[in-house]
């Protein structure tokens, strides 16, 4: 059978991107807690996400990993229930709770049925407000964390991450070390350290909340007060800002494995910078993911040097970097790095073409509404917007901001953000023909 995919068909198909029709309300509870809400009564359940600002960066000196261990223990017994009692109660309601922590935030996700939402919120509340930190649970979870750390010690990706982070942020800043701590630091933590970590991070004046599902504003207000109203205010001091300074070069971390893993990068751009959207578009062209990015085309499609190569803007709350990653067999990683370096120079000097910019805009504006699929995903987006101080009508204006970026903007911003002379590669493996050179 014959196929004719003509230009006319494409032109038609490119007409109008879908729009995300998300009606967000800002709800303030009687107790003064603020949440963003999207009512979705079609399915009888509620998705909720709560994020406590600060995350693992609030670890006290000498107590690295305390917040990570504390986070893992929130669901291991609370109020009058021990770990098993808590798990049985949660399973009996078919609720699911998740607790995770990153450098900048501790995120709690929950999903529960409308029919038992009161009981589910009680249970979730206890895990946040009244975790027990029973000795049995502390020791059990401590061993799990230690096991993870031992695995990380032999994982090439983790080794690359650690080496890059200490170079980028310095060993003194929390960003420069693993959020899970070391075997030594974890072994030394006491129950009091966990109580302190909890007190320092789970405070109700540093929280962002997103709720999507079968609940109305009034019921949500009461739910918020029940869930978080008993938390204290005033957490530990947030970390200081890092002025990232990376010098070009290569750092080889010797490790006996067939495929070398590389993380590369230099300083980046803040999320609230006026040039962020231009940088975002530039990065899409260079290496943000699709098969059509320059890095994928040059490193994978043309030369078969890797399964995947990516670049990404990595703005954290207190530092900004521009990073990428690639993995190639030991005897081919050198060539992959050369090609990536060439692409970095090329985009810094020549920017991108008008067609590349137009294609990037089409993709990013078209893809945006596709993110809003599922109540939990939307709750997460609501929290992300608040934690970045974006306005509540941001969703409606975001694509306009993407489309407002001009060729002049990207040409100027390319020269600003790409620093080929400072691009540093951390390589873990037995790379042929590469050795540690210059820079940091």
Q: According to the binding rule CB under 8 A, does residue 331 interact with other proteins?
A: no
Segment interacting with other proteins, rule: CB under 8 A, options 54-62, 92-100, 314-322, 418-426: 92-100
Question: What residues have CB less than 8 Å from 155, skipping those under 6 apart?
Answer: none
Q: For residue 239, what are its two tokens?
A: 């970390």
End-to-end CA distance of the chain: 59
Segment interacting with other proteins, rule: CB under 8 A, options 127-135, 195-203, 245-253, 258-266: 258-266
The interface mask with other proteins, positions 17-56, x = CB under 8 A, is xxxxx------------------x-xxxx-x---------
Q: Which is nearer to other proteins, 136 or 192 (CB)?
A: 136
Among 25, 102, 182, 259, binds other proteins (CB under 8 A): 259
Q: Which is nearer to other proteins, 43 or 60 (CB)?
A: 43
**Binders of other proteins: how many residues, by CB under 8 A?**
79
Among 369, 384, 420, 439, binds other proteins (CB under 8 A): 369
Q: According to the binding rule CB under 8 A, does residue 7 interact with other proteins?
A: no
Q: Which is nearer to other proteins, 149 or 279 (CB)?
A: 149
Scanning residues 265 to 294, which ones bind other proteins (CB under 8 A)? 290-292
CB 95 within 8 A of CB 112: yes
Q: For residue 349, what are its two tokens?
A: 């000097």
- The CA distances from residue 191 to 86, 140, 356, in Å, are 20, 13, 55
Scanning residues 299 to 328, which ones bind other proteins (CB under 8 A)? 300-308, 327-328
Q: Give DSSP secondary structure letters for 221-277.
A: HHHHHHHHTTS-S--PPPPPPP-----SEEEEEE---SEEEEEEEEE---TTSTTHH
Task: Tell me the closest approach of the beta carbon of residue 261 to other proteins, in angstroms.
Answer: 7
Q: According to the binding rule CB under 8 A, does residue 154 interact with other proteins?
A: yes
- The CA distances from residue 320 to 326, 366, 381, 435, in Å, are 20, 27, 21, 27
Q: Which is nearer to other proteins, 367 or 392 (CB)?
A: 367
SS3 313: strand
């Amino acid at each position: 059978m014959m196929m004719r995919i003509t230009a006319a068909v494409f032109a038609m198909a490119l007409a109008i991107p879908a729009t995300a029709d998300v009606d967000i309300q800002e709800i303030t509870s009687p107790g003064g807690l603020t949440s963003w809400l999207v009512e979705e009564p079609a399915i009888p359940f509620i998705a909720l996400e709560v994020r406590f600002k600060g995350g693992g960066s609030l670890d006290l000196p000498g107590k690295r990993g305390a917040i990570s261990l504390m986070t893992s223990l929130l669901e291991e017994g609370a109020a009058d229930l021990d770990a098993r009692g808590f798990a049985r109660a949660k399973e009996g309601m078919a609720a699911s709770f998740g607790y995770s922590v990153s450098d900048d935030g501790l995120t709690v996700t929950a999903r529960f049925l409308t029919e038992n939402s009161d009981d589910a919120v009680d249970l979730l509340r206890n895990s946040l407000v009244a975790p027990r930190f029973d000795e049995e649970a502390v020791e059990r979870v401590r061993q799990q964390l230690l096991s993870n750390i031992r695995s990380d010690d032999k994982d090439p990706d983790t080794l690359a991450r650690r080496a890059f982070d200490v170079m980028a942020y310095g060993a003194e800043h929390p960003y420069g070390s693993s959020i899970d701590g070391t075997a030594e630091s974890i072994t030394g933590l006491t129950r009091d350290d966990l109580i302190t970590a909890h007190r320092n991070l789970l405070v109700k004046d540093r929280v962002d909340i997103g709720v999507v599902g079968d609940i109305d504003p009034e019921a949500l207000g009461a739910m918020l007060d029940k869930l978080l109203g008993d938390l204290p205010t005033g957490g530990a001091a947030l970390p200081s800002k890092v002025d990232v300074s990376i010098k070009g070069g290569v750092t080889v971390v010797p490790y006996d494995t067939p495929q070398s893993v590389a993380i590369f990068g230099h300083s980046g751009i803040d999320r609230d910078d006026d040039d962020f959207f231009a940088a975002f578009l530039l990065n899409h062209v260079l290496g943000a993911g699709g098969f059509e990015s320059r890095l994928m085309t040059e490193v994978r499609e043309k030369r078969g040097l890797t399964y995947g190569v990516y670049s990404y803007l990595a703005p954290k709350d207190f530092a900004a970097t521009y990073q990428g990653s690639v993995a190639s067999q030991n005897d081919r990683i050198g060539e992959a790095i050369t090609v990536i370096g060439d692409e970095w120079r090329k985009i810094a000097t020549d920017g991108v073409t008008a067609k590349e910019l137009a294609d990037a805009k089409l993709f990013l504006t078209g893809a945006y509404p596709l993110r809003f699929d599922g109540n939990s995903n939307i709750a997460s987006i609501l929290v992300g917007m608040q934690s970045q101080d974006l306005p509540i009508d941001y969703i409606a204006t975001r694509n306009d901001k993407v489309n407002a970026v001009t060729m002049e903007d990207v040409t100027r911003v390319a020269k600003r953000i790409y620093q080929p002379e400072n691009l540093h590669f951390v390589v873990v493996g037995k790379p042929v023909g590469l050795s540690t050179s210059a820079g940091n």
